[in-house]
């Protein structure tokens, strides 16, 4: 499901209804820079898939840390190697994974006998803007799921000013990018469709909390 959050027209309302399931682990542990760590997991594939969020087919991230695979690993490892909410799979068995299809294929072949997985921890970023123009941020999400919406594209300020593009120019060290997930708006943690609607209609000061991936 795609939604243009900067559009002020009826088409932007065609978002459907998605299940409202908000994880209790929406706040991530912040690490500077590109923090990666390795784990080795051995389990049935289905057990690990329950923990994964594959809505964005170009990134595979942790969508639920409450299952036995993640919780068992975390109980037996130090914080620096514990699997966290929104952590991204970057390698399986040392092989770089450009998308979900590649991740699932490698896991299918190797997870039952044990496989090393490299995760990247995202950074939490907060964008605060005054709603004086279009956001220029197009979001995508999976209808009927509990995944957070992600940035599909950011429009450049060419013929008109777009707030997110301007934010990135003014804050190069806190810029947001395609694939980043929106986790709250004005302090509210909402379902994906509610998040999109909030961004489309909110006025005044807009505070958007995201998780950012260094790609």
What residues have CB less than 8 Å from 168, skipping those under 6 apart?
154, 175, 176
For the segment 95-107, the average pLDDT, to the nearest whole number, is: 94
Average pLDDT, the chain: 86
- Band (pLDDT 50/70/90 cuts) for residue 42 is very high
pLDDT of residue 25 exceeding 50, the answer is no
User: Among 192, 197, 171, which residue's Cα sits nearest to residue 181?
Assistant: 192
* pLDDT over threshold 60, residue 18: no
Distances in Å between the Cα of 172 and the Cα atoms of 130, 166, 176 are: 18, 10, 9
pLDDT value at residue 75: 95
pLDDT band at 73 (very low <50, low <70, confident <90, very high): very high
Bridge partner residues of 115 (DSSP): 41
Q: What pTM, to 2 d.p., does this model score?
A: 0.83
> Do 36 and 118 contact (CB within 8 A), yes or no?
yes
Residues 176-179: contacts with CB under 8 Å, at least 24 apart? 176/125, 176/127, 176/151, 176/210, 176/212, 177/151, 177/212, 177/213, 177/215, 178/150, 178/151, 178/152, 178/153, 178/154, 179/56, 179/58, 179/59, 179/150, 179/151, 179/213, 179/215
- Strands 150-154 vs 123-130: parallel, antiparallel or unpaired: unpaired
Whether 16 has a pLDDT exceeding 80, the answer reads no
Per-residue CA distances from 141 to 3, 138, 146 (Å): 8, 10, 9
Segment 49-61 mean pLDDT: 96
pLDDT in tens, 163-182: 999 999 999 999 999 999 99
Taken in order of first residue, the domains within the chain and their CATH numbers are 2-19+123-212 (2.30.42.10), 35-121 (2.30.42.10)
Q: What is residue 10's three-state secondary structure?
A: helix
Bridge partner list, 137: 154
Of these ranges, 33-37, 77-81, 91-95, the one predicted with the greatest mean pLDDT is 91-95
Residue 28's alpha-carbon distances to 85, 104, 181, 209, in angstroms, are 6, 24, 12, 11
Could you tell me the sign of the dihedral formed by the alpha carbons of 166, 124, 68, 58, in that order? Answer: positive
Give 120-161 pLDDT, tens digit per residue: 999 999 999 999 999 999 999 998 778 999 999 999 987 788
Predicted local distance difference test score (pLDDT) of residue 27: 42
Pairwise pLDDT comparison (13 vs 182), residue with the higher score: 182
E strand or H helix that includes residue 109: helix 100-110
pLDDT for 33: 59
Q: In the numeric block, which tokens belong to residue 75?
A: 């109980």
């Amino acid at each position: 499901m795609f939604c243009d959050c900067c559009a002020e027209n009826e088409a932007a309302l065609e978002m459907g209804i998605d299940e409202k399931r908000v994880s209790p682990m929406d706040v991530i542990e912040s690490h500077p820079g590109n923090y990666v760590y390795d784990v080795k997991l051995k389990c049935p594939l289905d057990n690990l898939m329950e923990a994964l969020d594959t809505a964005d087919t170009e990134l595979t991230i942790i969508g639920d840390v409450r299952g036995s695979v993640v919780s068992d690993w975390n109980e037996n490892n130090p914080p620096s190697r514990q699997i966290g909410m929104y952590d991204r799979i970057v390698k399986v068995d040392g092989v770089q994974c450009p998308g979900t299809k590649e991740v699932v294929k490698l896991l299918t072949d190797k997870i039952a006998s044990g496989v090393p997985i490299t995760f990247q921890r995202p950074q939490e970023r907060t964008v605060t803007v005054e709603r004086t123009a279009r956001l220029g941020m197009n979001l995508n999400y999976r209808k009927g799921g509990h995944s957070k919406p992600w940035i599909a594209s950011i429009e450049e300020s060419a013929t008109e000013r777009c707030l997110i593009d301007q934010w990135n120019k003014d804050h190069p060290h806190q810029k947001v990018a395609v694939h980043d997930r929106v986790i709250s708006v004005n302090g509210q943690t909402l379902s994906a469709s509610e998040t999109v609607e909030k961004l489309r209609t909110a006025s005044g000061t807009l505070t958007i909390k995201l998780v950012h991936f260094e790609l």
